[in-house]
Amino acid sequence: MTRRRWIADQVTGDTAVLVGEHAAHLARVLRAEVGQEFDIATGEEIRRGTITTISNDRVEFALDVAPDKERRFQPSAAPKITLVLAIFKFDRMEWAIEKCTEIGVARIIPVIARRTDTHLAAAAAKRCERWQRLVRQAAEQSRRSAPPEITDPVKLKNLDDAGVLSKSVQTRVVLAESLAESEEDTRLGDILQSRSSGSEVALAVGPEGGWADGELSWFYESGWVAASLGDTILRAETAAIVATALALDALR
């Protein structure tokens, strides 16, 4: 039976700890007991951990020090995909965040676009803590070694400021619902297949209604290339999931 995986909040030597709501879920909801074993992601490796103490807000594990690969192993490296996701209706956006985390996205940057509802834009900053919990839970459920980074919301014009978007990203693709006639055959898969495996890719997915014309111009002037996901128009959450899956498959 596959052991459930937890991502440690604190690691000191051969001891790992879950705290706060993270610990409460294991203690109160799952009713864990001293002596139970789980896989613990420490940030550098995955180790088997045995619960030594447990309370409603703190669970401590003794980490196995055995060197054999079955009990202690390094997480496999994955292609690095940054998802620039325009903010849209929170329930559907958060579903996309969860599923893209399960697929393997490395970083998510919520962006306030011109067509983002003003109430959503104003409330987005207050959702950051919830998004952090969401990606951690999705990462543990899908047995990732760490959750993706998710940044505070930024305006599109500030995307390249203060290192919000890593300079190491080699390929930047903005997903557009419709392309110019000269670009009508440009598909995301075609662009990614021409890139070497292991490169970092940023994908920008717009809100409902797509990116505004001025925003697309900004992308082009900033070195992004445009691509589509096919002949049909997808909801924003569907586009984010499909694009992430295509990119990860192309870069493996």
Computed on alpha carbons and rounded to an integer, the radius of gyration of the chain in Å comes to 20
Return d(Cα 177, Cα 232) in angstroms, integer: 8
Q: Give the torsion sign (CA, 131, 137, 141, 146).
A: positive
pLDDT score at 116: 95
Number of other residues whose CB lies within 10 A of the CB of residue 27:
19
Left (φ > 0), alpha (ψ -120 to 50) or beta: where does 87 sit? beta
Identify the H or E element spanning 238.
helix 236-251
- Tell me the C-alpha to C-alpha distance, in Å, between residue 3 and each of 33, 81, 111, 205: 15, 27, 36, 35
Q: For residue 213, what are its two tokens?
A: 């014309």
pLDDT score at 244: 95
What is the phi/psi pair of residue 119, to 5°? -70, -40
pLDDT score at 170: 76
**pLDDT beneath 50: ranges in the chain:** 67-68, 180-182
User: Closest by alpha carbon to 246, among 207, 216, 211, 203?
Assistant: 203
Q: Kindly report, residue by residue over 24-39, the tens digit of the pLDDT.
A: 888 888 889 999 999 9
Where along the chain do the CATH 2.40.240.20 domains lie?
5-73
pLDDT score at 72: 55
In sequence order, the β-bridge partners of residue 40 are: 6, 47
pLDDT score at 162: 56
Residue whose pair of structure tokens reads 């610990």 in the numeric block: 23
- Tell me the C-alpha to C-alpha distance, in Å, between residue 138 and each of 6, 87, 100, 169: 11, 19, 9, 24
pLDDT score at 1: 54
Q: For residue 75, what are its two tokens?
A: 């997480």
pLDDT score at 131: 96
Return d(Cα 99, Cα 241) in angstroms, integer: 7
Return d(Cα 246, Cα 249) in angstroms, integer: 5
Q: Which fold has domain 81-251?
A: Alpha/beta knot (3.40.1280)
Q: Kindly report, residue by residue over 226-239, the tens digit of the pLDDT.
A: 998 888 889 999 99
Q: DSSP of 161-203, one letter per residue?
A: GGGSS-TT--EEEEE-SS--GGGTT-BHHHHHHTSPTT--EEE
Where along the chain do the CATH 3.40.1280.10 domains lie?
81-251
CATH no. for 5-73: 2.40.240.20
The type of residue at 47 is R
Global pTM value:
0.82
